[in-house]
Chain A
Amino acid sequence: MTTLTPPAQADGAAAMTRGGLLALLARKRDQLVVLVVLIAIWQGLSMLLGNYWTGTPWGTFERLAEGIAEGELLRHASYTVAEAIIGFLVGGIPAAVLPFLLRRLPMVTAIIDPVMVGGYGAPKLALAPLFILWFGIGIESKIALIVFTVFFVVYFSTLGGIRALDPKLVQMAQMAGASESTIARHIIFPGAVPHIFAGLRIAMPYSIGGAVVAELISANRGLGYMIQLRSMNFDTTGVFVALAAVCFVVFIANWTVNSLEHRLLRWRPPTDVTAQKE
């Protein structure tokens, strides 16, 4: 009999070792340094070029605080975020489900492939005016644009995930007596989850960006509308404020996808430094 001693439960991401904590702090410090350098460059440029071309960091911060206090920023941001979330879900969920339905129908998959490739490659920005024409300047046209963007990205990454699965795992399951539905649920789906997440991770900033771009073209609310209006009034600092708000929204959304992925993909071995979760 071999005696294999399991390691104390200190391994994995659950417990942070002292070395890991130090590395994390060092990374946070370096990220902060990058941020400070960027703000310094910004400050330098604004002093060099003057208020007309760029807002100052401090001025932007003041206006940002003002916008938050007045509730104006929140009102516009929440409109953009609502568009992005609805579009992300309406486009992403069917895109993640469809390849599973088509798994047993390779003929159908092959037939619709050119359409999918076309949709994936179509310049989304060029479609925005068309969607506005069809759905008006309200929330519907923005959602349509986001759905159109998100759908193809998630569809192809999910399809790739299903195709990348090792057929030997399916064979193993068949020999162990697994039914088709058991295989779909316990082999194909978990195997594809990392790929679905890769798609969602790419699609998420697209959906926020899509919302902003659609609002730029035609809207009466939202962060994109804010940018459009303020640039027309030569309010450069105001544009910076709206851009900062967009960046913040993307940051939060990215963090949400990351933590969800981390929870669902606990089983994955850490591959590199960026995969070591904080």
Chain B
Amino acid sequence: MTGLLEVRNLSKRFATRAGREPSPWIIRDLSFSVADGEFLTIVGPSGGGKTTLLNMIAQIDTASGGEIIFQSKQAPLNDKKSLKPGLNCQIGYVTQEDNLLPWRTCLENVLFPLMAQGRLTEETRERAQSLIRAVGLAGWETHYPHELSGGMRKRTSLIRTLVYDPPVILMDEPFGALDAQTRAQLQEDLLRLWNLGRKTIVFVTHDITEAIALADRTLVLTRQPSKVAGEHVITIPRPRDMRDVVTQPEFIDIYRRIRAQVQ
């Protein structure tokens, strides 16, 4: 099966400095594919190279071996100079930190990609506004990041990526630093938004519950060097209620199986 995004035998070790042992492999021969419109979650132990994997897919880090095929084309991976961050706005990336620009208000941050791409029109502005309403940020548009709570900043950073509609969105533990309540709320917001557009999402987390609750399919990675330890298709029917999903018998079964694979 060929997917929208294919990772083949991907390997990564960091560049060695003179006089030092070569760094160990972070990722070794990692292969998987993502279908168009699929919500894929990846769980693995902390420090297992998950962020490194997303950085390589997002084209902000080079690979030491293997290839990444996107829309049947090979993405450049060999040296820093040939990297194309975001592959011409085809790949959006919601990073662990919100990376909001502190000198721009909430709305101006959301509009930034549109401005950068020269796509600021009545229509795209309206889209930004409707996303702001959809995640409950209405009324906060003119506030600066330091005036927003952690959850609101996360929402802002999430819709800043959604607003320009990239076909693939990578998410690196976006809800990691939030309290349980805010987190459940944001997960629901995310699923609702995803349901509207059915983007392809690659979502990395170390939280097994979150991985199952959101996904169509979950990949389990091993400790370093990362490889695929297991793959689970999640058939829990949608729409899912985040607070409810954990009580489903199917959830408990998958949870046990993933738990056994995550060492």
Q: Residues on A close to B: CB < 8 A?
A: 1-6, 11-12, 166, 168-169, 171-179, 182, 186-187, 190-191, 193, 266-269
Most buried by A among B91, B104, B147: B147
Write the chain B residue with the least CB distance to A5. Answer: B139
Q: Which of B85, B105, B139 contacts A171 (CB 8 A)?
A: B85
Pair B85/A175 contact, Cβ less than 8 Å:
yes
Pair A176/B136 contact, Cβ less than 8 Å:
no
Pair B116/A12 contact, Cβ less than 8 Å:
no
Q: How far is the CB of A8 from chain B (nearest CB, A)?
A: 11
Pair A177/B137 contact, Cβ less than 8 Å:
no
Pair A169/B137 contact, Cβ less than 8 Å:
no
Given contacts A174-B85, A190-B103, whether A12 and B147 have CB atoms under 8 Å apart is yes
Q: Residues on B close to A: CB < 8 A?
A: 58-60, 85-86, 88-89, 91-93, 95, 97, 99, 101-105, 112-113, 115-117, 136-137, 139-140, 143-144, 146-147, 152, 160, 164, 185
Q: Which of B101, B117, B185 contacts A177 (CB 8 A)?
A: B117
Pair A178/B97 contact, Cβ less than 8 Å:
no
Chain B contacts for A269, CB-based, 8 A: 144, 146-147
Chain A contacts for B60, CB-based, 8 A: 171, 174-175
Write the chain B residue with the least CB distance to A166. Answer: B99
Pair A182/B116 contact, Cβ less than 8 Å:
yes
Q: How far is the CB of A174 from chain B (nearest CB, A)?
A: 4
Beyond known contacts A4-B152, A176-B113: 19 more, CB 8 A cutoff: A4-B136, A4-B137, A5-B139, A166-B99, A169-B99, A174-B60, A174-B85, A174-B86, A175-B89, A175-B91, A175-B92, A176-B86, A176-B112, A176-B160, A178-B113, A186-B101, A267-B146, A269-B146, A269-B147
Pair A187/B97 contact, Cβ less than 8 Å:
no
Pair A6/B143 contact, Cβ less than 8 Å:
yes
Interface SS majority for chain B: loop
Q: CA separation between A174 and B99, bound complex, in Å?
A: 13
Q: How far is the CB of A186 from chain B (nearest CB, A)?
A: 7
Given contacts A177-B88, A267-B104, whether A172 and B99 have CB atoms under 8 Å apart is yes
Most buried by B among A11, A178, A269: A178
Q: How far is the CB of B254 from chain A (nearest CB, A)?
A: 28
Chain A contacts for B152, CB-based, 8 A: 4
Pair A176/B164 contact, Cβ less than 8 Å:
yes
Chain A contacts for B137, CB-based, 8 A: 4
Pair A168/B99 contact, Cβ less than 8 Å:
yes
Q: CA separation between A255 and B55, bound complex, in Å?
A: 46
Given contacts A176-B113, A176-B117, whether A190 and B86 have CB atoms under 8 Å apart is no
Q: CA separation between A187 and B115, bound complex, in Å?
A: 13
Pair A3/B136 contact, Cβ less than 8 Å:
yes
Q: How far is the CB of A250 from chain B (nearest CB, A)?
A: 29
18 A-B residue pairs with CB within 8 Å: A3-B136, A6-B140, A168-B99, A169-B99, A171-B85, A175-B58, A175-B85, A176-B113, A176-B117, A177-B86, A177-B113, A178-B113, A187-B101, A266-B144, A267-B103, A267-B105, A267-B144, A269-B144
Q: Which of B104, B136, B160 contacts A1 (CB 8 A)?
A: B136
Q: CA separation between A193 and B102, bound complex, in Å?
A: 12
Write the chain A residue with the least CB distance to B157. Answer: A172
Given contacts A6-B143, A267-B103, whether A177 and B95 have CB atoms under 8 Å apart is no
Pair A168/B97 contact, Cβ less than 8 Å:
yes
Q: Which of A177, A266, A267 contacts B89 (CB 8 A)?
A: A177
Most buried by B among A172, A182, A186: A172
Pair A178/B136 contact, Cβ less than 8 Å:
no
Q: Which of A1, A172, A182, A268 contacts B102 (CB 8 A)?
A: A268
Chain B contacts for A268, CB-based, 8 A: 102, 146
Q: Which of B95, B102, B113, B147 contacts A168 (CB 8 A)?
A: B95
Chain B contacts for A171, CB-based, 8 A: 60, 85
Q: Which of B113, B116, B139 contacts A179 (CB 8 A)?
A: B116
Given contacts A175-B58, A176-B164, A190-B101, whether A11 and B112 have CB atoms under 8 Å apart is no
Chain A contacts for B97, CB-based, 8 A: 168
Chain B contacts for A176, CB-based, 8 A: 86, 89, 112-113, 116-117, 160, 164
Most buried by B among A3, A173, A191: A173
Q: CA separation between A266 and B108, bound complex, in Å?
A: 14
Write the chain B residue with the least CB distance to A4. Answer: B136
Pair A172/B164 contact, Cβ less than 8 Å:
no
Pair B86/A175 contact, Cβ less than 8 Å:
yes
Chain A contacts for B58, CB-based, 8 A: 175
Given contacts A4-B137, A5-B139, A6-B143, whether A169 and B101 have CB atoms under 8 Å apart is yes
Write the chain B residue with the least CB distance to A183. Answer: B116
Chain B contacts for A187, CB-based, 8 A: 101
Chain B contacts for A11, CB-based, 8 A: 147
Pair B140/A4 contact, Cβ less than 8 Å:
yes
Q: How far is the CB of A275 from chain B (nearest CB, A)?
A: 12
Q: CA separation between A57 and B86, bound complex, in Å?
A: 68
